Amino acid sequence: MLFLDFFENLRTHGLKVTTHEWLALMEALQAGAVRNSLMGFYWTSRALLVKRESDYDRFDLAFAQTFDGVEASGELIEQILEWLSNKKEMPQLTSAEFAALEAHDLETLRRLFEERLKEQEERHDGGNRWIGTGGTSPFGHGGMNPAGVRVGGGGGGRRAMQVATQRDFANYRDDLVLDIRQTQVALRKLRRLIRHGQDQELDLDETVDRTGKNAGDLEVVFRPPRRNQVRLILLMDTGGSMTPYANVVSTIFTAASKSTHWKRFEAYYFHNCPYGEVWEDAWTRKAKSMSELIAESTEGSVLIMVGDATMHPAELTESGGAIDYWTANETPGVEWLKRLRRAFPDSVWINPLPSRWWNAPSCRLVREVFPMHPMTLSGIDSAVTDLRAGRARNL
């Protein structure tokens, strides 16, 4: 009965699961593809029943609705899970106490973090040295420190220089309908239509004019058809502080991807700042080098960056400053942004944060490179207007 509920829930959430696909799942279960593991069933059923990555969210909702409360087998480190879910309260520091905290440079911070990993043998909370929760230590999460390495837990103060954890982001959906029409209308202004190619389109006005001059003797005039020459590139920040804005970013993605008035449309993902590469999906499985992306810049290319530009300034200014602890970027992030700007002079940055938050240090650095507009219909309209008029070429 539970499996039938699962099938109904999948259909209810908009997944068009066919009988053939469902029977394939039953055959996989019968063949022993899943060995008494709820997670194993999750991965197997998703692989067989979901056709597009943009439907993963729908699948997850249906799966959670069906199997919520079902015991999952497998070994879990219960003490660690309890620790991470039961953090100590963040201390309330005065501005003077906060300013007095020592802020290490990135190289020193990484060295100290690896030393603590080797030395620490037990849980710590509320301290100023060890990896733990709360406190003023630069290592852990849920505490207060001007710069550190976040381990476990979510980001709250947006002050971490790097994050030592598994990436867990989701692709933006391309099937939303909320305000899609208005966004498409705004983006349509980017069309650049020129005439080229063989004569194959009837020029009605010129035909009538010449026929009139010929005293009614018909003269048919043809002209080259008008074709759009815009190549639109959409680079989208995903995960972390961008998670609350996933729906509105998906709206822009849907509007751009469903529009047919581009000569070429491309979309890529990055996190916080693009470094040596961007990805065609949010799980970083298929990468495209920044050098290749920049080399493909042509006349008519338009670049739209989408992100909150909120990060520790070291991510932009230091070598090795990438937020992912295991990413070693020799070229600072701000240099990659400048290279993008030079390669794509027709470019803008769309920010979901209200403009009153745009004076944060990292946001100011980004605004020195890209003209920034708010992620609203009027903001997108003004960004497109500036791109069309060529004003985006000058900050």
Burial class of residue 153 (count of CB atoms within 10 Å of its CB; 0-12, 13-18, 19+):
middle
Within 10 Å of residue 169's Cβ, how many Cβ atoms?
19
pLDDT confidence of 372, banded at 50, 70, 90?
very high
Which residues touch 301 (CB under 8 Å, ≥6 apart)? 230, 231, 233, 344, 346
What pTM did the predictor assign? 0.53
Give yes or no for residue 57 having a pLDDT over 80: yes
User: What local confidence, expressed as pLDDT, does residue 75 receive?
Assistant: 41
- Calpha distance 236→179 (Å, rounded): 19
User: What local confidence, expressed as pLDDT, does residue 178 receive?
Assistant: 43
Provide the mean pLDDT of the chain: 75
User: What local confidence, expressed as pLDDT, does residue 23 receive?
Assistant: 83
Which range in 133-142, 178-187, 367-376 is most confidently predicted, on average pLDDT? 367-376
Query: Residues 63-80: pLDDT tens digits?
Result: 888 877 665 444 433 544
- Helix, strand, coil content of the chain in percent (nearest 5): 40, 15, 45
Query: Residues 83-95: pLDDT tens digits?
Result: 555 555 555 555 6
Comparison of pLDDT for 46 and 136, the residue scoring more: 46
The domain made up of 180-192+229-393 has a fold known as: Rossmann fold (3.40.50)
pLDDT confidence of 194, banded at 50, 70, 90?
very low
- Calpha distance 386→380 (Å, rounded): 10
Comparison of pLDDT for 8 and 204, the residue scoring more: 8
Comparison of pLDDT for 304 and 394, the residue scoring more: 304
User: What local confidence, expressed as pLDDT, does residue 22 receive?
Assistant: 84
Give yes or no for residue 351 having a pLDDT over 90: yes
- Angle formed by the axes of helices 38-49 and 19-30, nearest 10°: 150
Residue given tokens 């949010």 in the structure block: 282
Give yes or no for residue 241 having a pLDDT over 80: yes
